Amino acid sequence: MGNDTQSCDLCINPGGAILWQSALCRVVRVDDPHYPCFCRVIWNDHVREMSDLAANHQLLLMRVVFAVESVVRQLFNPDKINLASFGNMVPHVHWHVIPRWQDDRHFPEPVWGSVRREGKAPRPVVSDEALAQAVSVALANIE
């Protein structure tokens, strides 16, 4: 951990509704009505870059990301999944797992881009509890 922890939003706040957590990382659901099941996988300790993690922690984190991606695909059947790790605004290792549909507000642009249209088709509704259960099952043997 560095001196940035006192001002880092992901050190101070969970970053969304916690679906699953371990001693090393957590999975949260982002509250975005246009992108249901937009999840983040967040490393608990304040680390700026993936290459700052030990090799075994890099692999573990990516296993969590891929497990969350699989759950999102299974529950929401999106046209595409976007995986993103920027940290430009919040320099704390975290991954975005974003379901995308060809008729969503931004497609084919990133969800942070300009709105191209209003989202058209309603998306499946899955409660935080159901999503948390599916993530927990997928990550039962992760560590």
- Could you identify the residue written with the tokens 């490393």? 43
pTM: 0.91
For residue 44, tell me if it sits in a domain. Answer: yes
- Computed over every residue of the chain, the mean pLDDT equals 91
pLDDT digits (tens, 9 = 90+) for 34-71: 888 899 999 999 999 999 999 999 999 999 999 999 99
pLDDT digits (tens, 9 = 90+) for 79-138: 999 999 988 888 899 999 999 999 999 999 999 888 998 877 667 788 999 999 999 999
- Distance in angstroms (rounded) separating the CA atoms of residues 23 and 94: 15
- Distance in angstroms (rounded) separating the CA atoms of residues 81 and 11: 26
The per-residue b/e assignment along 8-39, b for 16 or more CB within 10 angstroms, e otherwise, is bebbeeebbeebbeeeebbbbbbeeeebbbbb
> What's the number of domains the chain is made of?
1
For residue 48, tell me if it sits in a domain. Answer: yes
For residue 16, tell me if it sits in a domain. Answer: yes
Tally of CB atoms within 10 A around 97 = 26
The four Cα atoms 6, 12, 15, 18 give a dihedral, to 10 degrees, of: 150
Q: Which domain holds residue 87?
A: 3-138
For residue 143, tell me if it sits in a domain. Answer: no
CATH number at residue 100: 3.30.428.10
